[in-house]
């Protein structure tokens, strides 16, 4: 690309989910509702775990961290989208776009890492119940969460620095409701070979690795449950990991579905609409999945409401 075709980037344009004026009030109301439900639901989980001593266990410690990360994950994209709809302005500054992309990647990877850690926790609880409290002690819990944060921060920083080296042309329209990494790379006029290699290598390594760990953990869990003689014991063991398995399935199926279908459809707007599933819908449903079938969480919430009244 010739140098004169490049431009110093100061801002991008987020086209959003739809450019139809009549749909904007509907989108605003829908996403505002989903965002408030997400924040309130996950915040209740965090408050329930922190305020009830019965829930001061490794499983609920990881759950409260996941709920906090889900709030942050949704907050990186939805508020900006709501502001754009309300002000009828689709502009986002270059610095704001890079910052949004960084935090979206950070909290997205934290989600993956925490789900993997929670799978390990359930593996130890079911396959090694007598040694559970010795293996998964408070210090290890803190270390696992800390390592998850460090890995996510470093990889997000690597991706962001790789985008900063790119040059962009005059067409700065992003067919998405947030600054998505792949869309940013596609807008670049400079050579993106290194970016694509790093992006896919890290995605396979940090996406496939945790997924393999989760699948192995559940393979061992299922094998252990099948070896139990008591039907009641089998049900109790499975019920302790049913919620986590539901969340993992929802997150991976929606996110993998979006990125695997995108190359086939070649429709950026369809990809943006589908990405709502894992960026907004999944974090919104997580509190319901963990609380509806969980007597401990429901009991803690009830006690909190009684104390508040």
52-67 pLDDT, tens digit per residue, is 888 899 999 999 999 9
The length of the chain, given as a count of residues: 309
For the stretch 233-266, pLDDT in tens is: 788 778 878 888 888 888 888 777 776 665 555 5
What's the per-residue H, E or C state across 187-251?
Answer: HECCCCHHHHHHHHHHHHHHHHHHHHHHHHHHHHHHHHHHCCCCHHHHHHHHHHHHHHHHHHHHH
- Quick count: other Cβ atoms within 10 Å of Cβ 98? 19
79 versus 167: the higher-pLDDT residue is 79
Q: Are 81 and 28 in contact (CB under 8 A)?
A: no
What per-residue confidence (pLDDT) applies to 267?
A: 64
Residue-wise burial string across 114-149, b where 16 or more C-beta atoms lie within 10 A, e elsewhere: bbbbbbbbbbbbbbeeeebeeebeeebbeebbeebb
Among 118-132, 199-213, 246-260, the range of highest mean pLDDT: 118-132
Highest mean pLDDT pick, 17-26, 133-142, 176-185: 133-142
Q: How far apart are CA 245 and CA 239, in angstroms?
A: 10
Q: Which helix (H) or strand (E) holds 152?
A: helix 138-164
Of 151-160, 199-208, 220-229, give the lowest mean pLDDT range.
Answer: 199-208
Predicted confidence at residue 263, as pLDDT, reads 52
**Angle 261-197-95 from CA coordinates, rounded to 5°:** 85
> Average pLDDT, stretch 179-196?
87
Cβ neighbours of 296 (radius 10 Å): 17
The whole-number pLDDT of residue 12 equals: 92
As a 3-state breakdown, the chain gives helix, strand, coil percent values, each rounded to 5, of 80, 5, 15
More confident residue, 285 or 295: 285
Q: Are the C-beta atoms of residues 59 and 121 closer than 8 Å to each other?
A: yes
Task: Say what the pLDDT of residue 26 is.
Answer: 94
* Secondary element (H or E) of residue 273: helix 268-276
Evaluate if residue 100 carries a pLDDT over 90.
yes
pTM attached to this predicted model: 0.90
Which single residue is written with the structure tokens 């900006």? Answer: 80
| Mean pLDDT of the chain, nearest integer | 87
Residue range 157-181: mean pLDDT, rounded = 89
- % of the chain surpassing 90 pLDDT: 50
| pLDDT at res. 261 | 62
Residue 5: the pLDDT is 47
């Amino acid at each position: 690309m010739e140098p004169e075709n490049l431009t110093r980037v100061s801002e991008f344009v987020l086209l959003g989910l739809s450019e139809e004026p009549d749909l904007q009030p509907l989108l605003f109301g829908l996403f505002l509702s989903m965002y408030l439900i997400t924040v309130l639901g996950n915040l209740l989980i965090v408050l329930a775990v922190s305020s009830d001593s019965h829930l001061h266990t490794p499983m609920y410690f990881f759950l409260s961290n996941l709920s906090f990360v889900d709030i942050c994950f949704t907050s990186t994209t939805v508020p900006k989208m709501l502001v754009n709809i309300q002000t009828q302005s689709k502009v986002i500054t270059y610095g704001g776009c890079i910052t949004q992309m960084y935090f979206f990647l950070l909290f997205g990877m934290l989600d993956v890492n925490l789900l993997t850690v929670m799978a390990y926790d359930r593996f130890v609880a079911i396959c090694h119940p007598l040694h559970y409290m010795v293996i998964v002690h408070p210090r290890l819990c803190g270390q696992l969460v800390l390592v998850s944060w460090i890995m996510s921060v470093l990889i997000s920083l690597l991706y962001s620095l790789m985008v900063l080296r790119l040059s962009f042309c005059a067409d700065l329209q992003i067919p998405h409701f947030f600054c998505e990494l792949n869309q940013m790379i596609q807008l670049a006029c400079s050579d993106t070979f290194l970016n694509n290699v790093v992006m896919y290598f890290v995605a396979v390594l940090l996406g496939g690795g945790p997924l393999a760990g989760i699948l192995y953990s559940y393979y061992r869990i299922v094998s252990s449950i099948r070896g139990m003689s008591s039907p009641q014991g089998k049900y109790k063991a499975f019920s302790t990991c049913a919620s986590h398995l539901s969340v993992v399935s929802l997150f991976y199926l929606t996110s993998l579905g979006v990125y695997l279908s995108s190359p086939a459809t070649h429709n950026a707007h369809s990809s943006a609409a589908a990405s709502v599933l894992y960026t907004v819908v999944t974090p919104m449903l997580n509190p319901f999945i963990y609380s509806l079938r969980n007597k401990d969480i429901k009991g803690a919430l009830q006690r909190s409401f009684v104390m508040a009244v």
